[in-house]
Amino acid sequence: MRCYYDVLEIERDADSETIKKAYRRLSLKWHPDKNLDNTEEASKQFTIIQQAYEVLSDPHERSWYDRHREAILKGGLDEHYQDNSLTLYPYFSSSCYSGFSNDEKGFYAVYRKVFETLASEDYEFLDDPEGGKYPSFGDMDSDYDEVVGPFYGFWQSFSTVRSFAWLDSHDIRDAPNRQVLKAMEKENKKLRDKGKKERNEQIRELVSFVRKRDERVKKHSKWLEERRKEQMRKAEENRLQKIRDHLSILDGYEENETVQRVQEENLREIEDDLVTHFGELILDHNGEESSKDESLYCIICEKVFKTKMQLSNHVKSRKHREHLEELRKHMEEDELHLLENEQEMFELEGDKERTDEVPVSRRSRKQKKKSMKKMFALDEETEEDSLAQEKHDEAAFSGANKEVENLNTTGAVSERGTNEKEPSVSEGLLICCCFNFSL
């Protein structure tokens, strides 16, 4: 047997790229189609090149080959060999079989015989050989679930039951004493464990080598892949079907829009009945709410506040007082002009009616204005004293609000067509002034 490195004409430390290039070069060189004049030799060399590349291109198989290269090249025999078990190294090559048929030299016949031999070697060390039969390798037509699957499941985790006593380096019968006997047994056990470990490793590696090339496994793997794709396809169909079913359910809900429309109409009728029977209460309730909102409105400054505390702080502020004072002055000026006009009209009417009475001395316009200012002097002093007090300011503010509410009430009454009108503060002052002037 030739070394695989020599077959590919590469060094033992060659990398994967070098191995691939060497394989391509030699494949082109020894391909049977390129050597028509020497087809038989070319086919033989081409097969060996393929076998070498299959082993060296696989990192796991290459590692194992490197560790046992010398034993494989020698066929597993050397001058110190004492074991009578089957040598496995020749079967780590594709040259040990010919094709994948059920022929005597075919893949399945060769390796079936190998594993039957390995099983028979272990049967000698079993307590019940008949009850512990190892799975058979089968043939090219064997069912995967019944034969192929159980076979690889057993042999991939195989551990031999053989004792490997032939590896003992000491004969314990020659031990002179107990201490030497224990030392001999310890050394022999170490050698047995080592031999057993190596044998198990060889068998498992052979199983991996065979499984990788087994056409039944390749066929089953292909079937599993197709089955996986089919399951994925069915799963996708089921998912789409669920979506379609869900959409159909939604379409069913759309058909019930008539029922929903009827329910909405019934609700509207109920609302209309509530408004018809309890409309005044609803309006009164809304009016109360609006009045509550208006109570937080400062008429003088034209501002709305969120809470009564904010409104109270605003009433106490300097800015509010300034606006209040300014409003008071404007009101006094307007009332003064109004009083002057009313006084003139009153005097003109009085002159026409008093024909026989003693003439009354008329005062000038300047004197009239002066007398009216004196009349308001006392009121101004009283108001200035009240503004100095905080409580009086709040009372004045509430009075202003009430006055506006009275004005609003008057406006509302006039809109309803009534001619009744309550006198305002300014009109009251005017009446009092006219009464004084008449006296």
| Residue 116 buriedness (CB in 10 A; 0-12 / 13-18 / 19+) | middle
Q: Residues 6 or more apart from 410 whose CB is under 8 A from it?
A: 421, 422
Average pLDDT over residues 213-224: 91
Decide if 216 contacts 148 (C-beta within 8 A). yes
pLDDT at residue 338 greater than cutoff 50 = yes
Average pLDDT over residues 430-435: 40
pLDDT of residue 239: 92
Closest to 340 (Cα-Cα) out of 316, 312, 363, 309 = 363
pLDDT tens profile 47-84: 889 888 988 998 888 887 887 676 566 554 444 545 67
Residue 33: which H helix or E strand, with range? none
β partners of residue 297: 304
pLDDT of residue 407: 42
pLDDT at residue 387 greater than cutoff 60 = no
pTM of the model: 0.44
Decide if 403 contacts 396 (C-beta within 8 A). no
The rounded radius of gyration (Å) of the Cα atoms in the chain is: 61
pLDDT of residue 1: 67
How many CA atoms, within 13 angstroms, populate the side-chain half-sphere of residue 197? 6
Helices marked H in 128-177: 149-155
pLDDT tens profile 93-136: 888 888 888 888 899 999 999 999 998 888 877 766 666 688 98
pLDDT tens profile 13-51: 899 999 999 999 998 888 888 888 888 888 888 888 988
C-alpha dist (Å) from residue 75 to 72, 133, 296, 344: 5, 29, 110, 149
Q: Is 420 left (phi over 0), alpha (psi -120 to 50) or beta?
A: beta
C-alpha dist (Å) from residue 138 to 91, 119, 144: 17, 14, 10
Q: Residues 6 or more apart from 297 whose CB is under 8 A from it?
A: 303, 304, 305
pLDDT tens profile 411-427: 443 444 444 444 444 44
pLDDT tens profile 140-157: 999 999 999 999 999 999
Give me the phi and psi of 124, to 5 degrees please: -65, -25
Give me the phi and psi of 297, to 5 degrees please: -110, 130
How many CA atoms, within 13 angstroms, populate the side-chain half-sphere of residue 163? 7
pLDDT of residue 311: 82
- Per the model's pLDDT, the better-predicted residue between 397 and 118 turns out to be 118
Residue 418: which H helix or E strand, with range? none
164: amino acid identity, one letter: F
- Per the model's pLDDT, the better-predicted residue between 81 and 354 turns out to be 354
pLDDT tens profile 234-291: 999 999 999 988 888 776 655 556 766 777 777 777 777 766 766 555 545 455 444 4
Q: How far apart are CA 304 and CA 293, in angstroms?
A: 9
Classify residue 29 by its DSSP letter. Answer: H
pLDDT at residue 374 greater than cutoff 70 = no
Average pLDDT over residues 191-206: 90
Query: Would you place residue 364 in the very low, low, confident or very high pLDDT band (cuts 50, 70, 90)?
Result: low
Instruction: Give the chain's mean pLDDT.
Output: 74
